[in-house]
């Protein structure tokens, strides 16, 4: 039941690709026609950065969520495997999403300050307050994920030291109990 939701987000990703190129084309046309001042260019670039950051957020949700809640994506050892995918879990995903939201909020706030002459003062105040709330939330999530990760590692030790097959595991248990070697 989860898989179609992630495929729906892939469609949304396509919408953001369209939006990015639409914004880029508008920027190019206004620059070529001489109707773009420095403030317009800066705001347009920030809009493009915003679209890319939201698209990155979507990728994290799509790939990380699918990997965590639907099925493993076999990219182990592939040169295009995202670094964070090898240790993705719900806690890591939450922190990554929270920091991505802080980044997106930062771009929105910067847009407001760049266009400060056309932005209401109460909008600036609320934008700043909301941004600070995102920062505090991300910091709390990051702080809380540390103890949660430590408990998870303690409950489930890393597999790199695990025996390769069941016979080796049986040998280890027999040896630790002081029993005879099955060989």
| pLDDT of res. 67 | 76
| pLDDT of res. 163 | 46
In tens digits, what is the pLDDT along the chain, a chain of 183 residues? Answer: 888 898 999 999 999 999 999 999 999 999 999 998 888 999 999 999 999 999 988 988 888 777 777 776 666 666 766 666 556 667 777 787 888 899 899 998 998 998 888 889 999 999 999 999 999 999 998 888 776 655 555 555 554 444 444 444 444 444 444 444 444
| pLDDT of res. 82 | 65
Regarding pTM above 0.85, the answer is no
| pLDDT of res. 147 | 63
178: region left, alpha or beta (phi > 0 left; psi from -120 to 50 alpha)? left
| pLDDT of res. 71 | 72
Whether residue 20 contacts residue 51, with contact meaning beta carbons closer than 8 Å, is answered with yes
Q: 3-class secondary structure for 109-139?
A: HHHHHHCHHHCCHHHHHHHHHHHHHHHHHHH
| pLDDT of res. 59 | 86
| pLDDT of res. 81 | 65
Question: For residues 152 and 144, what is the distance between their CA atoms, to the nearest angstrom?
Answer: 13
């Amino acid at each position: 039941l989860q898989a179609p939701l992630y495929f729906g987000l892939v469609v949304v990703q396509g919408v953001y690709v369209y939006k990015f190129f639409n914004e880029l084309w508008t920027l190019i046309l206004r620059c070529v026609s001489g109707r773009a001042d420095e403030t317009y260019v800066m705001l347009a670039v920030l809009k493009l950065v915003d679209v890319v950051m939201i698209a990155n957020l979507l990728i994290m949700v799509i790939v990380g969520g699918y990997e965590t809640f639907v099925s493993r994506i076999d990219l182990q050892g592939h040169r295009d495997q995202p670094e964070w995918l090898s240790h993705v879990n719900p806690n890591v995903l939450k922190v990554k999403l929270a920091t991505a939201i802080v980044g997106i909020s930062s771009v929105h706030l910067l847009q407001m300050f760049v266009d400060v002459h056309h932005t209401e003062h109460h909008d600036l105040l609320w934008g700043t307050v909301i941004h600070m709330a995102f920062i505090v939330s991300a910091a709390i999530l990051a702080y809380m994920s540390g103890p949660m990760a430590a408990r998870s590692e303690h409950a489930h030790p890393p597999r790199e030291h695990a025996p390769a097959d069941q016979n080796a595991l049986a040998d280890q248990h027999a040896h630790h109990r002081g029993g005879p070697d099955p060989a």
